[in-house]
Structure formats: structure tokens, C-alpha cells
Chains A and B, each alone.
Chain A
Amino acid sequence: MKVGDIMIRDISAIFEDETVERFIRLCANHIRTGMPVVDEEMRILGYISENDVVNAVIPSYFGMLQSASFIPDTNQLKKKLYLIKDEPISKYMAKSVISVKENDTLLHASDLLIRHKFFSLCVVDEEERLTGLVNRSRILLGVLKELEEADEQTED
């Protein structure tokens, strides 16, 4: 089984000059946690996730603390988000995107997912244009199907 057999053929994407606010609204409407950022040829320029935005609005020293609950809430989140909501997402997206091709094996895709701690990967064609996505549960589902097929063959 190949990536092409189990991928989600959804090429919803966002352009790099869209704003952070637009990205948040699109994610909320679509129940997505992130989106590929593409150019006008549908080539992938980056990937923007909710995490990127959350990291941008939370003060950087929070990461060094075990708990931030003792810090008085001074509307930091609101202030920060207000400051960045009209900025282009290109400023916050991850620019190095790892993608797979439809002909790649499931093992290769899972290896990349685990190695880079991603939940999903972009799938691209030979010209590096977005054709869909693949995530962990789709890969596992694909492997389950392979197992079922193997079982059926031994029964025959």
C-alpha cells in the first residue's frame, strides 16, 4: 500500500499573505489544526499550525517555567493576539515543510511523522504541488487494511 491509497484528497490551503485572523477563522470553520501555505502554482511554501499562533501569543519565557499559573493574568494573550492578528501568516509559518509523494510507502511516511513529531504531512505531485494530506490515523488504517487482506489470503 502506498501513500496515494490512503491519503486525504483535500487541497485546502492558505496563501502566505493571508492574515493570522483569517487563518484562525478558517481553522475554526473547518475543524483543522493547521494548513499548508501555498504559492499561486499550489507549491508548498510552508505550513501554519495553531501551535505556531499560540507560540506567537504566549510570552517566550513561559516555556521555561514548570507552571505559569502564578503569573498574574494581565490580558497578555489578548494584547498579543491583537497585535499580530492582521499580520501575514508567512511571519509565523514553518518554512521547512517535509512532504511525501503518492508513490511513497506507508513506512516512509510514518518514519517522517515520528522523526519530526508531526501529526500530518503534505502530499505533493512530481512538480511539488499539493495534492492532499496524510495523517497518523490514515496510515494506521491503511496498515490495518493490509493486515486484513493478509488474513484473507491465508484463509483461502
Chain B
Amino acid sequence: MTNTAGSSPRPGSARPGAFTRLAADRGATIALAALALIVLACALAPLYADRVSRTDPFRSNPNDTLLLGGRIIEVVQENTAGLGLGTTPLGPTWRGAYLLGADAQGRDVAARVLYGGRNSLLIAASATALCLALAAVAGLAAGFAGGATDTVLAWLLDLLWAFPITLLAISLSLVLLSQGVRLGPVLIESDSLALPILILGVIYVPYVARPLRAQVRALRGTEFVLAAMSLGAGPWRVLGRHVLPHVVPTLVGFVPVIMALALLSEAALSVLSVGVQAPAASWGTLIADGQALLYSRPLVAIAPGLAVVATVLALNVLADGLRDAMDPRG
């Protein structure tokens, strides 16, 4: 992943080079621009909902009507043909309000995809931050301290890794959903975004912490660290001066990777009814809701799905670029 063995004691000097290389990578630049565009669009969700669509994307309004092409139509229409079973929501209008049509509740799909993106991105970004922070602590502690700390941490990481991710998420969320969880003085409510963040932040810790631990162990054995320690430098000083600078690029490289994984897992968990609670939305819950309309209005599930694919693809391209930029041999 990164060049560890025998690196120079001052790796900081390599970073400007990495940035230049990243900027020169056309794929990565495009991905970055695409990400910025997606974030911007989601940030401007209220603009679309209030000014263009003029509907409340969080209120269920199956009896609403809409003026379209000079006619007043119901947003969710009762079927009248044949036996007259079921209802059909408005399809895509491809202009202004209800750009992508309505969902079963008569809500504007486009507005919900934009608002859902806010939650999905927020969850993925926060989960990534949490994951990397936890992984850094675990990886550094296990790799640097060694001994019993290492054994216990390694066991915990193994346990977390072998505990099937979907099961862990479902179990956690069931406990949390029905009563919230109390962490010291902080009560996490069942309907807060903190829950999916917590779940997604925890499950990928081993993914980052294990390579990190290996890297730190390797660094600890290098001559310059041994030399620094034999010269009487305290462990914190060694960590700060000689280990951390090598570890930070590794962590940075993981940012888009974990964020992409978190986005995908958020979607998968929502299908299992674990995650953001109604009426709030995320791309995952939108896909889950859209499944109920897959045959009559496939776009309701396909639009948020494509949003996930586009975002994750951009993140993966960026991750690729970052990896190449930080490892000049590649």
C-alpha cells in the first residue's frame, strides 16, 4: 500500500509530490469534480424542493393534486382499468416539479433523492471519520505497544471481522432501535443519524486497523525508530515524530475506500430496514422504498441506485488516483 520498509525518517517531503501527481491524474480530477458536483446538488436540495418542485419531500400526501399541462391530476392515481386494483403514482414529468415522478406516498422523487443524498453523504463521511479514528488508535496501540495490548486488540479485531457484517449491523440496530443506546451521559436516539454512523463506523475498523497494525509493527522494527528509542526518546515522541507521519498517508488513502464501502453498506442495511428512519431519507431507504414500486415505477428505485453507483464510482476512481499518487512506483 505505501512504501514502509527503509523509508526516510522525514517522509513529509514526499507529500507535495503526491499532490502534484494527483492533480495530474485526469481520472482523479474528474472524479473529484464529479464528487463536488454531487455534494453541491445535494446541498442545494432545499432550493429544488422549495423553488422548483414546491412540495414537501418528507410529508406523505397521497391525496395531493398537481397542475400539469393545463390539467389537474392526482399525484397518486387510483387505477380504474379492469378490476380497478391498486394505485399508480405520477411518472417522471421531466420538467420542474416531479422531475422523476412521485413515490407511493405522492412525494417528489427527485427532491427525495437530493435530500437522501445529504443524509447518505453525511453518514458515509462521519462513519469514515469515526472508523479511521478508531482504527488509528487500535492500529497504533496494537502495533506499537505489542504484548498483551496487541493480543487483546488483535482478538477484538478478529472478532469484529469474523462477526458477519450484516448480522452485526442488524443486531446492533435492533437493540438501538427499540431503546436507543446510552454512552455515558449521551443518549443516542433511535431515529438519529448517529445510529447508522455508529454501526458503519465500527464494522470497517478491522479493515483499516489490521494493515495499519502491520505497518506500525514494521516501522517499529526499522533502524531509525530503534535508534531514536535507544537515544532515549519517549514512546510518544517516537510515535509523533517517526510513526505518525508514515501512518497518516495510509489513512488518507483509506478515506475514499471506506467512504465508498460505507455508502454501499448503508444501502444494503436500509434494505434490511436498518438505518435512517422515516420520514427522513437516505439513498438506501429510497432504494428500499422503491423496491415496492419496481414494476410499475422502476425509476423510484433506479434513481437513488444510480446516485449510489455514481458517487461510489467517483470515490473509487479517486482512491485509485490517491494510491498511485502516494506510491510513485505504481
| Mutual binders A and B | no
Which A positions have Cβ atoms within 8 angstroms of B? Answer: none
